[in-house]
């Protein structure tokens, strides 16, 4: 069968408004996928639903679709999206109303069953990560638009591939190949030069969105429409393949994809072939994302300028000690960020920031009393006192947690265009997997180390790329070498111990290193560095997006031959 061309037009809730039209008009494509959901997005949609029970989906998808629905119909392009969020049936109905108003004959289906809120009272949102076979059932029934709730990001691609090629549950190698392609596409322009360590090697002012040519054996070629910005090479695809992953086994509801078996090769300009991906049975359980309100948070930032920065910070802390002691919040955190420079040429570069963050289940303990105490210091504290913005009354924050349920405990249902409801069975080997868990993978052999030679103190980023991201309270940092010799050095030099030295914030946390020789990469998982997840805002960079770039900026003794 001919290859299936699957493109992406959204990597998050808020992505480029005209991407759908760009993908429809830029070249040939069979299916377009839109990924809108992240842990934080589910919290946002949950709060929307509190205000309006009919809400809970990504409303911007409708405005994108209004502009392009007729064009998609004319070109025979199907659209698959998880923009349904907490209310896929509601968005499906809204799409039908839109199509009727526009006079476009469109068959709409949706997938449901992921909502487990009834089993988790007190959670703002509780959703299981479903696989792609509900999407496949909708497409096989003739749907033009498929709306889902919380499926895995890669399911937006595995579902169309299974429908197109007639794959059945249990065809693990083919499904694993599609999972890898889906993982590369899911974050949109991150596969075409966006957020890329070596962004200066191409024009990334406006990267084009990616697409994958998927073949019947599960192999694929990642590319983009001709004439669009950005670039696709082995590095951009490697970076996205490492993003938000852990070990060599990438678990999903349909298949466990073996990332250590993936082979990447440049297949021409802006074309990267992915092949060799092996698959194993999926785990017996589905991951459930739980979002709940964790309490209330308030923040005050004091600007400290010029001389005596440490003393000025100490004075503010002493002055607020009484206010914090009278009704102490559950959590009080002070951070002095030394952005100041000596003999600075601007006032901003002469200034440091002192951040006070407080959290408590009771809004009163982080609210006006604390804000008032901070502002009362305006004429009675350190010289040059000012704050960038006035503190507020305290805002709610969210907490993300993971839970797991047996695959057969979830009612995965495809609601077809004619209204029929089709139950999607769990993966066939999932229950067997429960009693016969796969053996731990052996540690892959490392390459021969480089011979001794002169070294120079230099940033790691001169010889390695990195990309980092969040998974709940954990962060991952994937680091890859750009040549075989650089890999020979990196594999031996960048151990978990050296990572802890370079990232002091991780020294007291569990850090696990996973080696992926086919990608010339090591992937680090740092447990607990993000606290209770992005919505809790426990860290300066709450999603660890720049953790990899911090690592690349750290200096090591690097062989001069690599520099």
pLDDT 10s digits, 491-531: 999 999 999 999 999 999 999 999 999 999 999 999 999 98
79 & 141 share domain = yes
449 assigned to some structural domain: no
Provide the 10 A C-beta neighbour count for residue 5.
Answer: 18
- What is the rounded average pLDDT of the residues 40-45? 91
If pLDDT is split at 50, 70 and 90, which confidence band does 467 have?
very high
Q: Does 24 fall in a domain? A: yes
Can you tell me whether residue 282 is helix, strand or coil? coil
> Percentage of the chain surpassing pLDDT 90?
89
In this predicted structure, the answer to whether residue 448 has a pLDDT above a threshold of 90 is yes
Q: Are 466 and 477 in contact (CB under 8 A)?
A: yes
Q: Given this model, what pLDDT does residue 497 score?
A: 97
Q: What is the pTM of this model?
A: 0.94
Indicate if 259 and 316 belong to the same structural domain. no
User: Which of 2-11, 256-265, 371-380, 477-486 is predicted with the least confidence, judged by mean pLDDT?
Assistant: 371-380
Residue 266 belongs to a domain: yes
Token pair of 144 as six digits: 């033009």
User: Is the pLDDT confidence value at 431 over 80?
Assistant: no
Whether 348 and 496 map to the same domain: the answer is no
Structural domain of residue 361, as residue ranges? 293-398
Q: How far apart are CA 132 and CA 479, in angstroms?
A: 29
Q: Are residues 325 and 237 in the same domain?
A: no
Q: What are the beta bridge partners of residue 521?
A: 480, 516
Q: What is the residue-averaged pLDDT of the chain?
A: 95
Inside any domain, residue 335? yes
Domains identified in the chain, total number: 3
Q: Is residue 442 included in any domain, yes or no?
A: no
468 and 553 in a single domain? The answer is yes
Considering the domain architecture, whether residues 25 and 111 belong to the same structural domain is answered as yes
DSSP assignment of 191-218 equals GTTTT-TTGGGS--SSBPPEEEEE-TTS
Tell me if 450 is assigned to some domain. no
**Does residue 556 sit in the same domain as residue 511?**
yes
Output the domain CATH number for residue 307: 3.30.70.360
Indicate whether 147 and 236 sit together in one domain.
yes
Neighbours of 362 (CB within 10 A): 13
Q: Backbone phi, then psi, for 422, in 5-degree steps?
A: -115, 120
């Amino acid at each position: 069968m001919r290859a299936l061309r699957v493109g992406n037009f959204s990597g998050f809730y808020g992505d480029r408004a005209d991407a759908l039209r760009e993908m429809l008009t830029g070249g040939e494509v069979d299916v377009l996928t839109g990924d809108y959901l992240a842990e934080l997005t589910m919290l946002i949609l949950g709060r929307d639903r509190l205000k309006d029970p009919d809400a809970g989906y990504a409303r911007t998808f409708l405005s994108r679709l209004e502009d392009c629905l007729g064009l998609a119909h004319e070109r025979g392009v199907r659209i698959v999206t998880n923009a349904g969020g907490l209310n896929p049936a509601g968005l499906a109905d809204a799409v039908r109303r839109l199509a009727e108003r526009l006079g476009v004959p469109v068959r709409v289906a949706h997938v449901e069953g992921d909502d487990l809120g009834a089993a988790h009272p007190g959670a703002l949102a509780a959703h299981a990560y479903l696989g792609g076979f509900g999407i496949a059932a909708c497409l096989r029934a003739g749907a033009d638009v498929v709306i889902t709730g919380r499926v895995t990001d890669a399911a937006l691609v595995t579902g169309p591939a299974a429908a197109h090629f007639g794959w059945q549950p249990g065809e693990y190698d083919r499904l694993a190949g599609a999972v890898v392609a889906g993982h590369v596409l899911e974050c949109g322009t991150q596969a075409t030069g966006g957020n890329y360590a070596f962004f200066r090697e191409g024009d990334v002012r406006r990267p084009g969105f990616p697409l994958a040519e998927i073949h019947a054996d599960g192999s694929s070629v990642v590319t983009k429409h001709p004439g669009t910005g950005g670039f696709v090479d082995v590095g951009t695809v490697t970076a996205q393949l490492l993003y938000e992953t852990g070990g060599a086994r990438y678990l999903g509801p349909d298949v466990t994809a073996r990332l250590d078996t993936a082979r990447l090769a440049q297949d021409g300009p802006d074309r990267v072939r992915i092949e060799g991906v092996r698959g194993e049975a999926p785990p017996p359980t589905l991951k459930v994302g739980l979002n709940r309100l964790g309490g209330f948070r308030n923040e005050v930032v004091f600007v400290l300028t010029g001389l005596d920065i440490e003393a000025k910070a100490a004075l503010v802390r002493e002055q607020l000690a009484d206010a914090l002691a009278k009704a102490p919040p559950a959590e009080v955190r002070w951070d002095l960020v030394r952005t100041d420079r000596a003999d600075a040429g601007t006032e901003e570069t002469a200034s440091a920031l002192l951040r006070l963050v407080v959290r408590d289940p009771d809004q009163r303990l982080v609210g006006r009393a604390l804000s008032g105490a901070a502002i009362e210091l305006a004429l009675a504290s350190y010289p040059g006192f000012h704050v960038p913005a006035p503190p507020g009354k305290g805002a709610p924050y969210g907490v993300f947690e993971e839970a797991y349920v047996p695959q057969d405990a979830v009612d995965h249902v495809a609601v077809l265009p004619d209204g029929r409801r089709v139950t999607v069975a769990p993966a066939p080997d999932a229950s067997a997997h429960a009693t016969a868990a796969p053996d731990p993978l052996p540690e892959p052999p490392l390459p021969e180390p480089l011979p001794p030679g002169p070294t120079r103190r230099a940033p790691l980023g001169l010889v390695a790329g990195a990309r980092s991201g969040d998974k709940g309270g954990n962060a991952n940092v994937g680091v890859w070498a750009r040549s075989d010799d650089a890999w020979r050095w990196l594999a031996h030099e960048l151990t978990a111990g050296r990572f802890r030295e370079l990232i002091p914030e991780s020294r007291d946390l569990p850090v696990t290193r996973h080696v992926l020789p086919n990608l010339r990469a090591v992937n680090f998982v740092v447990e607990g560095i993000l606290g209770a997840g992005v919505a809790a805002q426990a860290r300066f960079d709450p999603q660890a997006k720049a953790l990899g770039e911090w690592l690349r900026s750290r200096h090591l003794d690097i062989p001069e031959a690599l520099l």
